[in-house]
């Protein structure tokens, strides 16, 4: 046996030694949750409360460090460009536009590469590595073109790593507490997003021209994050694991029978011959999820407008305007785990749709007359709840429905659908904003969103039942 393969598989905790050992997807073999006995219910509750996989926590720490790195730079980049480098106002707008556009489409590519090669860890590593390199680049350059390119490359890195990472979270979690696993990851991730800007501002407070100090700290955090990912996260092989889970005997694995052999003696066969297929997009349940997520995203106009609307009437929101997004992040951070648990208990698709009611609530706060500090804080809390109930929960819904062999692509596709639809929504809303005025525009979108909610709720019923994962993984296994 090839020693490298052996090492990787041991590190990846793969079921090569015993055929019957539950694989990462093996827990799917639990009986479906219908007609449950008291014992089954207890077992399910135990599964929900079971510890979150250490891989998920490690990935959360990687995200935390990377988010400190990227958010600290993002928070001071406008100041750096305009104050220290003296760039023009419109130049900054260009940088900002690049930031938004670059990451959306790479996500599908990242997911595809992760599924195709069956090494999501190394695709994610490439994404994190690319972003880390841009931090080093910021230290070396002051040119406008160079900085805009670095910003774009950073976004490409973010796009690349997101879906492989989410697929790894799905692959290493118990399906029963998938929502909580994503919640734990997103909580850690958001801690980084809240700490990053504050850290950067403290550095600039103490060292007024300390932009390079922020970049050095940011680079350091990115390198440590990359090292944690490279050294501590197992090289999960979701496709291989699902194949091994579905083929439990030596004969099923097309290995010659021999006396006294365990079922995995001898190389795992034909690992390179897993055909990857985009057919998951036509799977009716997944398609429903994608359509509903897309429709709801089309009615999600971007926090910026909510903040602007609050700022137009409330002195509190004006003073803190540059930091309102930190408030949203703090709410998201606090709510990620509780909402993930709730999603595991009552159904992830239900929570996903219901979270958009929180968004409608935030719109209402932004639209009501006589805004005050209370409405502003309520709006931030509602936005935080909206993110807690959508970002990780959507990945959990898709990760649970999609077959392991196409999971990263499916998650990447869902995230791209949402990102592109939200971008379209924001530009369209911009038109509405000026033609109707701020308040009517927000009210309109809020009403449309409220009308869409029951329809989406109805469209997603039944999605939370376990998907045909084992069957599908059979489908993509070699036919031979």
Partner 1 sequence: MRRLPPRALALVGIVTAVVVGVGGYVWWAARAHQAASGAAPSVASTSLESVLAGPHILFRNTLPGAQYGLVAAVPLADPTGARAFTDVACDRLYHAGDYTSCLRTVRGVATTFEADLLDSHWQSVQTWPLPGIPSRTRLSDDGTLVATTAFVTGHSYAQIGFSTETKIHGTDGTDLGDLESWTFLVDGTPFTTADRNFWGVSFIDDDTFYVSAASQSAGKTWIATGKISTRTISTLREGGECPSVSPDRSKVAYKKVQRVQDGQKVWAYAVLDVGSGTETLYPVTEGCDDQIEWLDDTTILYGMPRADEPATTDLWSLDIATPGAEPQLFIEGAWSPSVVRSGS
Nearer to partner 1, 321 or 457 (CB): 321
Does 54 engage in binding with partner 1 (CB under 8 A)? no
Which range, of 25-33, 181-189, 422-430, 448-456, touches partner 1 by CB under 8 A? Answer: 422-430
Residues 291-350 that bind partner 1 (CB under 8 A): 301-305, 307-308, 311-312, 315, 318-326
Q: Minimal distance in Å, beta carbon 136 to partner 1?
A: 12
Which range, of 68-76, 109-117, 276-284, 459-467, touches partner 1 by CB under 8 A? Answer: 68-76
Nearer to partner 1, 112 or 201 (CB): 201
Residues 362-421 that bind partner 1 (CB under 8 A): none
Which range, of 81-89, 282-290, 291-299, 408-416, touches partner 1 by CB under 8 A? Answer: 81-89
Among 21, 22, 48, 78, binds partner 1 (CB under 8 A): 78
Among 423, 444, 450, 474, binds partner 1 (CB under 8 A): 423
Distance, first Cα to last Cα, the chain: 23
Rounded Cα distance between 44 and 260, Å, is: 37
Nearer to partner 1, 5 or 83 (CB): 83
Residues 131-150 that bind partner 1 (CB under 8 A): 142, 144-145
Residues 210-229 that bind partner 1 (CB under 8 A): 210-213, 216-217, 219-220, 223-224, 227-228
CB 415 within 8 A of CB 107: yes
Nearer to partner 1, 231 or 479 (CB): 231
Among 27, 43, 94, 276, binds partner 1 (CB under 8 A): 94
Ramachandran bin of 77, using left for φ above 0, alpha for ψ from -120 to 50, beta for the remaining angles = alpha
Rounded Cα distance between 183 and 394, Å, is: 11
Among 46, 287, 424, 434, binds partner 1 (CB under 8 A): 434
Pick from 376, 377, 374, 371: which is nearest to 313 by CA? 371
Q: Minimal distance in Å, beta carbon 193 to partner 1?
A: 8
Pick from 395, 327, 78, 80: which is nearest to 212 by CA? 80
Q: Minimal distance in Å, beta carbon 324 to partner 1?
A: 7
Q: Minimal distance in Å, beta carbon 460 to partner 1?
A: 25
Q: Minimal distance in Å, beta carbon 100 to partner 1?
A: 7
Nearer to partner 1, 204 or 371 (CB): 204
Count of residues in contact with partner 1, rule CB under 8 A: 77
Contacts of 196 (CB under 8 A, 6+ apart): 67, 68, 69, 70, 71, 72, 73, 74, 75
Residue appearing with tokens 């997004």: 325
Q: Minimal distance in Å, beta carbon 412 to partner 1?
A: 18
**Tokens coding 378:** 């309520």
Rounded Cα distance between 108 and 466, Å, is: 24
Residues 101, 352, 360, 377, CA torsion sign: negative
Q: Minimal distance in Å, beta carbon 198 to partner 1?
A: 6
Which range, of 67-75, 171-179, 276-284, 456-464, touches partner 1 by CB under 8 A? Answer: 67-75
Nearer to partner 1, 134 or 177 (CB): 134
Pick from 413, 381, 388: which is nearest to 399 by CA? 413
Residues 176-215 that bind partner 1 (CB under 8 A): 193, 197-198, 201-202, 204-213
Rounded Cα distance between 237 and 404, Å, is: 9
Q: What share of the chain is helix, strand, coil (3-state, %, to 5)?
A: 80, 0, 20
CB 242 within 8 A of CB 476: no
CB 316 within 8 A of CB 372: yes
Rounded Cα distance between 477 and 444, Å, is: 49
Q: CA-CA distances (angstroms) from residue 27 to 40, 59, 175, 246, 342?
A: 14, 21, 7, 12, 21
Nearer to partner 1, 423 or 459 (CB): 423
| CA-derived radius of gyration, the chain | 23
Q: Minimal distance in Å, beta carbon 73 to partner 1?
A: 9
């Amino acid at each position: 046996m090839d020693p490298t393969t052996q090492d990787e598989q041991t590190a990846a905790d793969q079921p090569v030694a015993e055929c019957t050992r539950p694989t990462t997807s093996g827990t799917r073999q639990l009986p479906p949750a219908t007609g449950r006995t008291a014992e089954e219910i207890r077992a399910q509750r135990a599964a929900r409360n079971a510890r979150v996989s250490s891989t998920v926590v490690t990935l959360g720490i990687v995200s935390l460090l990377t988010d400190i790195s990227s958010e600290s730079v993002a928070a001071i980049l406008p100041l750096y460009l305009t104050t220290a480098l003296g760039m023009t106002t419109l130049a900054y707008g260009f940088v900002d536009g690049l930031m938004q556009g670059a990451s959306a489409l790479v996500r599908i590519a990242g997911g595809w590469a992760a599924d195709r090669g069956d090494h999501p860890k190394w695709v994610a590593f490439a994404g994190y590595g690319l972003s880390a390199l841009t931090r080093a680049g910021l230290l070396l350059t002051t040119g406008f073109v160079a900085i805009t390119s670095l910003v774009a490359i950073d976004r490409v890195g973010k796009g690349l790593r997101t879906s492989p990472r989410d697929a790894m979270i799905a692959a290493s979690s118990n399906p029963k507490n998938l929502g909580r696993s994503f919640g734990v990851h997103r909580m850690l991730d958001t801690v980084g997003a809240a700490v990053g800007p504050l850290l950067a501002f403290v550095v600039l407070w103490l060292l007024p021209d300390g932009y390079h100090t922020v970049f050095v700290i940011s680079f350091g955090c990115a390198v440590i994050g990359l090292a944690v990912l490279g050294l501590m996260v197992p090289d999960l092989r979701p496709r291989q694991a699902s194949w091994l889970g579905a083929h439990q005997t030596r004969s099923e694995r097309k290995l010659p029978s021999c006396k006294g052999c365990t079922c995995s003696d001898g190389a795992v066969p034909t690992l390179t011959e897993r055909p990857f297929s985009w057919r998951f997009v036509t799977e009716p349940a997944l398609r429903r999820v994608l359509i509903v997520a897309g429709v709801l995203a089309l009615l999600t106009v971007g926090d910026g407008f909510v903040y602007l609307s609050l700022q137009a009437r409330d002195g509190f929101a004006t003073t803190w305007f540059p930091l309102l997004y930190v408030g949203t992040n703090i709410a998201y951070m606090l709510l990620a785990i509780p909402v993930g648990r709730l999603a595991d208990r009552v159904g992830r698709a239900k929570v996903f749709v219901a979270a958009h009611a929180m968004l409608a609530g935030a719109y209402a706060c932004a639209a009501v007359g006589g805004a005050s500090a209370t409405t502003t804080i309520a709006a931030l809390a509602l936005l935080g709840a909206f993110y807690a109930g959508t970002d990780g929960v959507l990945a959990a819904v898709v990760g649970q429905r999609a077959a392991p062999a196409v999971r990263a692509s499916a998650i990447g596709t869902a995230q791209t659908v949402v990102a592109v639809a939200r971008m379209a929504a924001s530009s369209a809303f911009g038109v509405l904003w000026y033609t109707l005025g701020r308040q009517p525009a927000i009210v309109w979108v809020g009403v449309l969103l409220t009308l869409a909610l029951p329809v989406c709720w109805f469209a997603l019923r039944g999605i939370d039942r376990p998907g045909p994962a084992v069957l599908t993984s059979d489908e993509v296994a070699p036919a031979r």
